[in-house]
Amino acid sequence: MGGGLSSAENVSGTLESRYQAHRWALLRRGRCPECAEVIRGTPALFAKEACGHCGYQHDAMQTSGKLPVPPWRQRRWLLYLGVGLASLLVSWLPLVSTLVVIAAMVLARWYVLAESLRWLSPARRVCTQFAVRVGIGVLAASTLVLQEALTLLPVIGWAAKPLAGVGVILLFVEVGGRYVEGRVRRDAQDASLDTWEWAVPTFMLGVVMSVAVAGVLVLTWIWERVSTLPDWLVL
């Protein structure tokens, strides 16, 4: 009899843990843990307001003032591994490693950061999305210069390119994820959009243009030197 009760309690505990895990998963995706509808407004996500659909306030889950674990913190590791392996396989090919890193950043934008971005209010979401896109541009231009410069270094360059690729995607996800997370926390305070939030992507846009121009000049200089190498050898 006692064994039956113990087994029933274990089953009940397992079901309860799965139920709570399901509710937390809904909350991480910006949905109400009670009715599963999309939560409108970041304060409701932090249990500072009730759900606009069913009126449920998930403070009972002891989440008040706490940000649910952002999806990007759970999904980043597989992305890092994929970039490292792909870069290792194509490191000897010009431009391909760069395209792998750029594709990984675009994938990270949709697969890793998108759900956190949906938690933001419309104005802050537009501003933050613009900052993330400009960040992709900055790192893409920097990656182009770095990866193609490494391509010119036999053996050493081929070994260094996968590390450089993982470093770039790691920088994008870790910095971008924390930036978006900070904007979500700011939004939960009902704070208006700060001027510097527009200044950051504007400055980054200037940086990406400067890096692109510098990259073209550096690659042109390298190509000119390489093209004169046969003449120098003949002499």
Phi/psi at 155 (5° precision): 65, -65
Q: What is the mean pLDDT of residues 9-20?
A: 67
Q: How far apart are CA 10 and CA 68, in angstroms?
A: 27
Q: Are residues 52 and 87 in the same domain?
A: no
Of 40, 61, 82, the one marking the end of a domain is: 61
Residue 17 counted as domain residue: yes
Token output for 185 = 């926390």
Residue 149 counted as domain residue: yes
Of 42, 61, 80, the one marking the end of a domain is: 61
Q: Are residues 150 and 208 in the same domain?
A: yes
Residue 143 counted as domain residue: yes
Q: Are residues 22 and 124 in the same domain?
A: no
Counting residues of the chain whose pLDDT is more than 70, the rounded percentage is 75
Within 13 A of 208's CA, how many CA atoms are on the CB side? 18
Residue 129 counted as domain residue: yes
Q: Are residues 41 and 131 in the same domain?
A: no
Taking all residues of the chain, what is their mean pLDDT, rounded to a whole number?
A: 75
Token output for 165 = 């690729």
Residues 101 and 162 sit within 8 Å (Cβ to Cβ): no
Q: How far apart are CA 101 and CA 141, in angstroms?
A: 11
Work out how many domains the chain is built from and give that number: 2
Is pLDDT above 50 for 101? yes
Burial 14-41 (b: 16+ CB within 10 A, else e): eeeeeeeeebbebbbbbbbbbeeeebeb
Q: Are residues 11 and 97 in the same domain?
A: no
The more confident residue out of 141 and 166 is 166
Of 61, 87, 106, the one marking the end of a domain is: 61
CA 72 to mean position of chain CA atoms: 6
Measure Cα distances from 48 to 11, 23, 29, 122, 146 in Å: 34, 17, 17, 19, 46
Q: Are residues 41 and 157 in the same domain?
A: no
Range of the domain at 54: 2-61
What contacts 195, CB < 8 A, 6 or more positions away?
Answer: none
The more confident residue out of 51 and 146 is 146
Q: What does the pLDDT read at residue 13?
A: 60
Q: What does the pLDDT read at residue 72?
A: 63
Is pLDDT above 70 for 224? yes
Report the phi/psi class of residue 182: left, alpha or beta, with left for phi > 0 and alpha for psi in -120 to 50: alpha
Residue 96 counted as domain residue: yes
Q: What is the mean pLDDT of residues 110-133?
A: 81
Q: What is the mean pLDDT of residues 96-125?
A: 82
Measured at the CA of 163, the angle between CA 102 and CA 151, to 5 degrees, comes to 75
Q: Are residues 169 and 135 in the same domain?
A: yes
Phi/psi at 31 (5° precision): -120, 150
Is pLDDT above 70 for 214? yes
Q: Are residues 52 and 128 in the same domain?
A: no
Residue 53 counted as domain residue: yes
Q: Are residues 124 and 17 in the same domain?
A: no
Q: Are residues 14 and 37 in the same domain?
A: yes
Kindly tell me the burial class for residue 48, based on how many C-beta atoms sit within 10 Å of its own C-beta (0-12, 13-18, 19 or more): middle
Q: Are residues 43 and 91 in the same domain?
A: no
Residue 66 counted as domain residue: no
Phi/psi at 38 (5° precision): -65, 130
Residue 158 counted as domain residue: yes
Q: Are residues 38 and 93 in the same domain?
A: no
Residues 204 and 142 sit within 8 Å (Cβ to Cβ): no
